[in-house]
């Protein structure tokens, strides 16, 4: 399986990149034969607008070459871990924009979240649940919850054993769900 760790913040000095990199290090250390890759919006060249609603695009035929490249990247993964902050009690705008450019590439795939914030981005993750369910994704139950109080003492990201354990649960559930999807597709 090929799993994307999708970092959703683009701010200068963002915490999201460090958290995404930590997740990749942890996941690769599993040595489980699966591939884990970081997807960073800042490394993508995306147009914010879309000519027609992505749901109506057939066979991945996106008119915009930038969106086409984004679709090919995202469509190549079997499951996703979204690393999401919470901005004003919801999901970060640039991450939602990148998400909304596509449709079929997300549909039917498993997803989980690493949330971080004063309340571990619980409200943002709740909004993400509505968004990704609308697009037909499969939300697995486990998620990683990093609170500033527990996991950012003195503003330093400190995932600790609890962070590693939460991420291990996320990976196990995502891989199981991706296996079930693969079986259904083959059947």
Ligand X SMILES: Cc1cc2nc3c(=O)[nH]c(=O)nc-3n(C[C@H](O)[C@H](O)[C@H](O)COP(=O)(O)O)c2cc1C
Q: Which is nearer to ligand X, 34 or 127 (CB)?
A: 127
Chain length of the chain: 187
Distance CA 97, CA 66 (A): 14
Q: Which is nearer to ligand X, 9 or 67 (CB)?
A: 9
Q: How far is the CB of 127 from ligand X (least distance, A)?
A: 11
Binding site for ligand X (CB under 6 A): 9, 11, 14-16, 85-89, 117-119
Distances (CA, A) of 75 to 10, 14, 80, 88, 103: 22, 26, 11, 30, 10
Q: How far is the CB of 131 from ligand X (least distance, A)?
A: 17
Q: What is the DSSP string of 89-147?
A: TB--HHHHHHHHT-STTTTT-EEEEEEEETTTTHHHHHHHHHHHHHTT-EE-S--EEEE
* Short-list 64, 63, 29, CA closest to 45: 64
Provide φ and ψ at 139, rounded to 5°. -85, 120
Q: Which is nearer to ligand X, 93 or 136 (CB)?
A: 93
Q: How far is the CB of 89 from ligand X (least distance, A)?
A: 5
Provide φ and ψ at 90, rounded to 5°. -160, -170
Q: Which is nearer to ligand X, 18 or 34 (CB)?
A: 18
Q: How far is the CB of 80 from ligand X (least distance, A)?
A: 17
Distance CA 96, CA 73 (A): 17
Q: Which is nearer to ligand X, 11 or 55 (CB)?
A: 11
Which residue's Cβ has the minimum distance to ligand X? Answer: 117
Q: How far is the CB of 16 from ligand X (least distance, A)?
A: 3
């Amino acid at each position: 399986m090929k799993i994307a760790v999708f970092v959703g913040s683009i701010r200068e000095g963002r915490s999201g990149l460090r958290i995404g990199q930590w997740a990749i290090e942890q996941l690769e250390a599993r040595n489980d034969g699966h591939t884990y890759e970081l997807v960073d919006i800042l490394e993508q060249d995306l147009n914010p607008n879309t000519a027609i609603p992505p749901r109506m695009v057939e066979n991945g035929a996106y008119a915009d070459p930038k969106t086409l490249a984004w679709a090919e990247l995202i469509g190549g993964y079997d499951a996703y871990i979204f690393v999401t902050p919470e901005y004003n009690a919801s999901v970060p705008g640039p991450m939602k924009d990148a998400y909304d450019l596509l449709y079929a590439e997300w549909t039917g795939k498993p997803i989980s979240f690493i949330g971080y914030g004063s309340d571990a981005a619980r409200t943002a993750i709740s909004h993400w649940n509505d968004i990704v369910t609308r697009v037909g994704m499969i939300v697995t139950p486990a998620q990683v919850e990093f609170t500033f109080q527990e996991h950012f003492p003195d503003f330093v990201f400190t995932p600790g054993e609890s962070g590693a354990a939460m991420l291990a649960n996320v990976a196990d559930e995502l891989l199981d769900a991706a296996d079930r999807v693969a079986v259904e597709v083959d059947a």
